[in-house]
Amino acid sequence: MLAPILTIARYTLLEALRNRLLWVLAVLALAALGLSGFLHAVALTESRQIQAALLAALLRLSAVFLIATFVVTSMAREAHDKGSELLLALPLPRAAYLLGKLGGFCLLALLPALLFGAFGLFFAPPAQAALWCASLLCELWLVAGFALLCMFTLNHVLPALAATLGFYLLARSVAALQLIGQHSGAADAGQRAIAAGMDLLAFVLPALGRFTRSEWLVYHDGGWLQLALVLGQTAIYLLLLAAAALFDLYRKEF
């Protein structure tokens, strides 16, 4: 089963490279660097810190959007060309197809993580840049896994992409929403229900607010314990996403 998984993963990565993904990554990196450099030039105080924080945020958002878009459009194109049906008609388990696609997308996430992580060396010591890079890779793996699940479930580009980006934004901001709900003072029943809903979402969703923090590049305060927590969450949620996608794939009739 390992051989077909590796083959599918390899061709998924090749598809991305043939679609000029490296060129897109380079353009995004240069655009983010140019914009952050402009702010560095016009900022009156803490210009270097502002540049590092803005560059980290722009690179992270660019990488997430690029990976989510590629996963969704690649799966949609394969379904439209009947490539997925052809692969599933071969004598190999459906799990091999899913794990191969997921493995290919995870390999693909290495490209933006390593390229964008290298920019961190301009602002932080190598250990902090490596921490930021590894955390970005974990974040991209979760986005790729959720986008893959959305395509198996929703089958259309726009709903799958909207659901993936909504999942990402909510997982990124739910901790702040939860904090606002807990410190809103005297609250009526409706506000308490909303706060309880935020607590439930924070319990269910991965705490992406703790991933790829810009402070690691600005103040160099990241630690390996934080990376261990990121890796633990990534392993758990990626396993859950793969299991959900596998369940959906096995129940489909082609």
Give the span between the Cα atoms of 199 and 179, in whole angstroms.
9
pLDDT exceeds 80 at position 125: yes
What's the one-letter identity of residue 235? A
pLDDT score recorded for residue 72: 94
For residues 59-72, average pLDDT: 92
- In percent, how much of the chain has pLDDT > 70? 96
Q: Per-residue b/e over 17-51, b at no fewer than 16 CB within 10 Å?
A: eeeebeebbeebbeebbeebeeebeeeeeeeebbb
For residues 35-42, average pLDDT: 74
For residues 17-41, average pLDDT: 80
pLDDT exceeds 80 at position 41: no
pLDDT exceeds 80 at position 65: yes
What's the one-letter identity of residue 143? V
For residues 81-107, average pLDDT: 86
pLDDT score recorded for residue 73: 92
pLDDT exceeds 80 at position 186: no
